[in-house]
A = this chain, B = another copy of it.
Amino acid sequence: MSRIVVSLGGNALGKNPAEQKELLKNVAFHIVELIKDGHEVVIAHGNGPQVGMINLSFTESTSTPDMPFPECGAMSQGYIGYHLQNSIGNELAKQKIKKSIASIVTQVVVDEFDPAFDRPTKPIGNFYTHEESKVLEKTMGYDMVEDAGRGYRRVVPSPMPIDIKEIDIVKSLLNEGHIVVTVGGGGIPVIRKGYSLVGVPSVIDKDNASAKLAELVNADILIILTAVDNVYINFGKDNAEALHEVSIERLETLIEEKQFAEGSMLPKIRASINFARNKKISVIASLDNAEKAFNLEAGTIIKG
């Protein structure tokens, strides 16, 4: 029996509630296979499209207040967490497995002096014209950037997670045999101000948050589920090659060779390395290969 952190991509969750519900049936099936193998499972998930959608609805709506980013993240944890625990709970009931699952609203602590706060890089929400973006910079104090010819978008900082406020809650539940959903969307980002934790408009990379979670619950394996079956070198080229088992040293060389796309595969690899470094195992695999990946028979396996 292993303690496993599974990190699900926000893009795999769909663009609206009906789509999310449908896609999660498949996710639930794979997660329950893992539980049937006797593993302790903690689930982390992204929220990119969903938190963008929530933020946008408050921005566009004329009779509701503006909703700050940490609060939108909290809403996305409720929204995605509900569907996750409902679909996994339904699959468990169907297979007559007596296990409880719940989603924990989770705050993740970041350092207010993290250099990321000086350099917002994470694009969120919808696209604006140049004129609109100038207005938003002025009226809302947003940082706006041109995004790959598709228009202007708000960018927020993406600081590193340093602690998970509700980690004792997560540990208690795991120790009691429950399944836990936590650090949704990378967690609600908060900084320390004296004794208080205060929400900050930023987005924590969900794979970095998952690696921190895996470290803090002393997991054996971190599994990052994504759209591709493996990590590739020369991705998209004729000489593309899937990596099966790979050392941290080899990955670090490949990172220096700029083999992995920034904002896509690179953060997953960095998070995997961070976790594997302490004699642990990280796996990057597709959802469809999840069971095999859980048994270290598919995906890209990084052993520290």
Question: Does A16 count as interface, using CB distance less than 8 angstroms?
Answer: yes
> Known contacts A61-B56, A89-B197, A169-B173: does B105 contact A103 (CB below 8 Å)?
yes
Question: Does A166 count as interface, using CB distance less than 8 angstroms?
Answer: yes
A residues 19-60 in Cβ contact with B at 8 Å? 53-54, 56-60
Shortest A19–chain B CB gap in Å is 9
Could you mark each residue 272-289 of chain A with 1 if its beta carbon is under 8 Å from any beta carbon of chain B, else 0?
000000000000000000
Q: Are B85 and A107 in contact, with the CB atoms below 8 A? A: yes
Residue of B nearest to A178 (CB): B169
A17 to B196, CA, bound (A): 17
Q: Are A190 and B86 in contact, with the CB atoms below 8 A? A: yes
Question: Does A235 count as interface, using CB distance less than 8 angstroms?
Answer: no
Could you mark each residue 56-76 of chain A with 1 if its beta carbon is under 8 Å from any beta carbon of chain B, else 0?
111111111101101100111
A172 contacts which of B78, B89, B173 (Cβ < 8 Å)? B173
Can you list 21 contacts pairing A with B, beta carbon distance less than 8 Å?
A16-B65, A17-B68, A56-B61, A57-B58, A59-B61, A70-B82, A71-B79, A71-B83, A74-B78, A74-B82, A75-B79, A78-B78, A78-B81, A82-B107, A85-B166, A89-B165, A102-B166, A104-B104, A104-B105, A105-B105, A172-B172
